[in-house]
Amino acid sequence: MINTSSARKAFNKLKGKAEKAVHRSLDQHVKLAVTGLSGSGKTAFITALVKHLTSQADDKNLPFFDVMQQKRHIATKVVPQQALTIPTFSYQNALGALLPHDGEPMWPASTERINTLRLAIKYQSGSGLRSHIAPQSTMYLDIIDYPGEWLLDLPMLEQSYQQWCEQQYALLVQPPRVDKAQNFLSALNGLDLNAPVDEHALSELAKLYQSLLVGLKKDTKLAMLQPGRMLMPGELQGAPLLLFFPVAEYDSEVIPGSNLAHLQKRFNAYVKEVVKPFYIQHFRHFDRQIVLVDVLSALNEGPETLHEQSAVIQQLLAHFNYGENSFIKRLFKPNIDKLLFAANKSDHISGEHHKDLALLLDSLVHEQANHLKFDGVKIETIAMSSIAATQPRQVTEQGKPLNCIYGKPLNEQQWLTYLPPQPPSRMLTKTEWPTQGFEFLSFAPMPSPDKQLKHIRLDHVMQYLLGDKLT
């Protein structure tokens, strides 16, 4: 006999897959990857995107977003997500930090776990197949937010423990890490890798290494800090899975039961149980991607940090699915067919230098971008601010007009009219680096009596990533 309950479940599952396929065939479902390292502004970006689409959606606020400019946008709202096992992005809390009822506005807290959010964008169909099927359409936009620290681990998928050690130990013994790493390196020199497992010694060394990573994250903008879960452990806090660290060069012959064998086992388990599931569940089915980069903070720290940021971004991009997204591919194996590199926080410099910032970011990602363009991916680079924290001001000094910015520096009380330096328009070598370096200030979000968020080129971002889906 036929089990009607099983048949019904099978039918509903098949129906769900068919509905997803139809949505993809008509571009009614877009999964957006908001990618960036810690501090790049992912949470602020998502908050601004939702705010502008749901309550600031008009052609005056978003003039370069075609669906707004053509007055075809009907309404956008947050709707229940499909991923029921993942917490919902805390939009109201993030918005409440930026637009408080009383007190000073603050940047929303960094993400400490995976979150997701779904928007339903209802709009008037313009032309093409969709306009013949229905005059009005709804596009569902899925956004996933996750700690930037966890993203750092993706390159470990293709590394053995020995390869990872070679990379990470080489970084520890060079500036700018070597001075901060002395306690860990001294303790590591006293460990006999070939001796029988000493759980206590390994645990103490792992704690020293974790303290080193946390200190580097707090005091620098270095990007290559692995494993990322040591910085943001989440549910893995205190788990033996995190008790490993890089060691100096060693022979490929590993003695069973030794300290080295134990470290290797933990590394392999971490990649298998943590990194790989994270990648499989959240990084294989994106349609569009924005990569947010805080270039100005890296410039503040010098050429080593800027070069490291460039290297890390290009490594990360290798772990997303890219390629031309034809009709058939979109149905069965969606790939990212449009990628936007965004130099965030452009409001922290004068408007006349935004182009320099975009060109600098372009030079940082040029090598990997060239490969992706060859594969049919459309790529653009932009300087933008999802939330503008300053206002432009022009002052005159000795009869010469100066384009400055006005805002309240982060963690300070006084407002400031400030002339920021001009960022370079390309990657500089160490010999080209200015003797005095760069000093770009960070700013707190501005109070907003009308409870509206200001932006710089967020509408350009929306048009590039979503405009062709809303025709």
pLDDT digit string, tens, across residues 108-130 = 988 777 889 999 999 998 766 55
Same domain, yes or no: 301 and 290: yes
List the domain range (segments joined by +) for residue 191: 154-279
* End position of a domain, from candidates 246, 279, 312: 279
The verdict on 266 and 368 lying in the same domain is no
Question: 247 exposed, middle or buried (CB, 10 Å; 0-12, 13-18, 19+)?
Answer: buried
Per-residue model confidence as pLDDT tens digits over 86-101: 888 999 999 999 999 9
Looking up residue 117, the CATH number of its domain turns out to be 3.40.50.300
Residue 179 sits in the same domain as residue 141: no
Q: Are 460 and 366 in the same domain?
A: yes
| 456 found inside a domain | yes
Q: Please, which pLDDT band fits residue 10 given cuts at 50, 70 and 90?
A: low
- Judge if 224 and 291 occupy the same domain: no
| H or E, element range at 407 | strand 400-407
* Closest by Cα among 58, 72, 47 to 138: 72
- Asked if residue 352 is part of any domain, the answer here is yes
Q: Out of 24-28, 67-71, 391-395, pick the least confident.
A: 24-28
- At 307-349, the pLDDT tens digits run 998 888 888 777 766 655 444 344 334 578 889 999 999 999 9
Average pLDDT over all residues of the chain: 88
Is there a domain that residue 413 lies in? no
How many CB atoms lie under 10 A from the CB of residue 410? 13
Question: Does a cis peptide bond (omega within 30 degrees of 0) precede residue 176?
Answer: yes
Q: Given pLDDT bands bounded at 50, 70 and 90, which one contains residue 81?
A: confident
Q: Which of 34, 66, 71 is nearest to 50 (CA)?
A: 34
Task: Please state the φ and ψ torsions of residue 403, each to the nearest 5 degrees.
Answer: -85, 105
454 and 319 both lie in a single domain:
yes
Query: How many structural domains is the chain composed of?
Result: 2
Cα separations in angstroms, 240 against 198, 203, 269: 13, 8, 10
**Is 318 a member of any domain?**
yes
Residue 441 resides in a domain: no
Q: Which residue has the higher pLDDT, 447 or 132?
A: 447
| Cα 289 versus chain centre, distance | 10
∠ at Cα 270 (317, 292), nearest 5°? 25
Burial class (CB in 10 A: 0-12, 13-18, 19+), 262: buried
Whether residue 327 is found in the same domain as residue 463:
yes
For residues 307 and 453, membership in a common domain is answered with yes
User: Does some domain include residue 321?
Assistant: yes
Nearest Cα to Cα of residue 289 among 375, 373, 379: 379
Same domain, 261 and 292: no
The answer to whether residue 68 sits within a structural domain is yes
Domain shared by 56 and 139, yes or no: yes
pTM assigned to the model:
0.85
Beta-carbon contacts of residue 431 (< 8 Å; ≥ 6 apart): none
**Mean of the pLDDT values across residues 438-452?**
95
The reported pLDDT for the residue numbered 328 is 37
Q: What is the pLDDT of residue 316?
A: 78
Of 225, 279, 226, which Cα lies nearest the Cα of 35? Answer: 279
Residue 176 has pLDDT above 80, yes or no: yes
Per-residue confidence (pLDDT) for residue 212, from 0 to 100: 97
- Per-residue model confidence (pLDDT) at position 329: 41
122 plus 179 within the same structural domain: no
CA 422 – CA 128 distance, rounded (Å): 45
Q: What distance in Å separates the CA atoms of residue 443 and residue 390, rounded to the nearest whole number?
A: 7
The pLDDT of residue 182: 96
In b/e form, how buried is each residue of 164-176, taking b as 16+ CB within 10 angstroms? bbbebbebbeeeb
Higher pLDDT, 285 or 138: 138
Round to whole Å and give the CA distance between 349 and 77. Answer: 33
How many angstroms separate the Cα of 172 from the Cα of each of 209, 248, 308, 339? 10, 10, 13, 33
- Which of 224, 247, 279 marks a domain boundary? 279
**β-bridge pairing 378-383 and 338-343:** parallel
Interatomic CA distance for residues 448 and 454, integer angstroms? 9
Pair (246, 351) in one structural domain: no
Mean per-residue pLDDT for 183-211? 96
Q: Identify which has the larger pLDDT, 333 or 179.
A: 179
pLDDT tens sequence across 405-429: 999 999 999 999 999 999 999 999 8
Over residues 244-296, the pLDDT tens digits come to: 999 998 877 899 999 999 999 999 999 999 999 888 877 767 888 898 999 99
Would 186 be classed as within a structural domain?
yes
Domain boundary (279, 312, 333) is at 279
Lowest mean pLDDT among 18-32, 126-140, 215-229: 18-32
